[in-house]
Amino acid sequence: MRKTWLIFSQTVTVAVGVLFVVATFRPQWLSGWTSRQGLPVPTVLVAPSPAGSAASAERQAQTSFRDAARKAAPTVVSVSASNTAARQSRRSDPWFRYFFGDQESQPQSGVGSGVIVSPEGYVLTNNHVVDRMDDIQIMLSDGRKASAEVIGTDPDTDLAVLKVELDRLPAITFGSSETLQVGDAVLAIGNPFGVGQTVTSGIVSALGRNQLGINTFENFIQTDAAINPGNSGGALVDIDGNLVGINSAIYSRSGGSMGIGFAIPVSTARQVMESLIRDGQVTRGWIGVEPRDLTPEIAETFNLPLKEGVLITGVLHNGPAALGGVRPGDVVVEVASQKVANTAQLLNAVAALKPGEAAQLRLLRGGQSLTAMVTVAKRPKMALPAQAQQDDSEE
């Protein structure tokens, strides 16, 4: 009796095991048999095949940025730059040779990123990536390498345009930075730390960031997409893979990403790029004043009936503004019918004016509103300090 029971239990165990294996890997066999016997079909959870169902593919497409990355990534290049002239001048310095001997010195060098903006070979990058460099090389995502020529630079916005001679170049599609909203998803594409092309994702954290002391003209897109050293000059793209910004700077205490990165809007980048390609330089308006933001404390001190505007603390003698009747202590509220609420807006509004033309400024002097006609001059080139103070900018 005991032997019969042992055989029965083993048979049941083997049968249950076979049923489990069949139900897991070949449920259609069990389904066909149970349907013929009129039995209920057991429900088995089976992982989807690698191809996935249509619904699964649709859900994945909604949460994935692979299409945007596939579209934009080929247009982002790695930029390596070096200053061989610095090496030669150091080797020829007799004091250097006296103390250190005739040793080979490494040239100044840097690694950044760039974006191909036209099939003709124009590449947009940051000025600080190629500044004072005489040997610039770019590498495409397909492995091709080429030397690049600097077409023009604009230190005021930290932008530069390069030119390479290669065939079959992919070009990025320009998007619109004006339609961006806080919370929109974006991708940062570049070459961080020289490890190779990398794509990171995040959102638009803020818009119109200025007075950071990075550039003379600031209107940054802030994002939490990871941007690290080497990403400078790379692309910030929307979920359709269109260019909305040029990655430029980060806020960091460690040298790496802390979730606060800044990109130059594509509207600014495109305007500068077209000027550099057409003229080799960017021409901006200038009126010769020293501006300062109008704070509530200043407005109360001068008993001014407004909270927004730009206080003029200095006027260049015989400059355009002085000749137009602007005085220290005036508050500028409009430039060429465009309202200005702070120094950054005044800088941008004046820079957009065409040199040689007259522009109307609406001022508040004491409690009196008046207008001044100023003949705009060409903005002189100014050296931007390492830590520029926007309040000290002269316009």
| Residues 287 and 376 sit within 8 Å (Cβ to Cβ) | yes
In which region does residue 376 sit, left (phi positive, over 0), alpha (psi from -120 to 50) or beta (all else)?
beta
Nearest to 319 by CA among 359, 358, 357, 287: 287
Task: Kindly list the structural domains of the chain, giving each domain's residue range(s) and its CATH number in brackets, ordered by start.
Answer: 1-46 (no CATH), 75-164 (2.40.10.10), 185-279 (2.40.10.10), 285-392 (2.30.42.10)
| Residue 85: predicted pLDDT | 62
| Residues 252 and 258 sit within 8 Å (Cβ to Cβ) | yes
Residues assigned a catalytic role = 128, 158, 232
Amino acid 117 reads V
| Residue 73: predicted pLDDT | 94
Length of the chain measured in residues: 395
As a whole number of Å, the CA-based R_g of the chain is 31
| Residues 119 and 74 sit within 8 Å (Cβ to Cβ) | no
Q: Report how far residue 340's alpha carbon sits from residue 209's, in angstroms, rounded to the nearest whole number.
A: 16
| Residue 2: predicted pLDDT | 65
Strand-pairing partners, residue 375, are: 358
Q: Report how far residue 243's alpha carbon sits from residue 372's, in angstroms, rounded to the nearest whole number.
A: 40
Strand-pairing partners, residue 137, are: 80, 147
Q: Report how far residue 139's alpha carbon sits from residue 120's, in angstroms, rounded to the nearest whole number.
A: 16
The owner of tokens 């048999």 is 33
Q: Report how far residue 194's alpha carbon sits from residue 186's, in angstroms, rounded to the nearest whole number.
A: 22
The H or E element spanning position 384 is none
| Residues 152 and 280 sit within 8 Å (Cβ to Cβ) | yes
Q: Which residues of the chain have pLDDT under 70?
A: 1-3, 5-6, 16, 19-62, 85-109, 253-257, 382-395
| Residue 164: predicted pLDDT | 95
| Residue 34: predicted pLDDT | 47
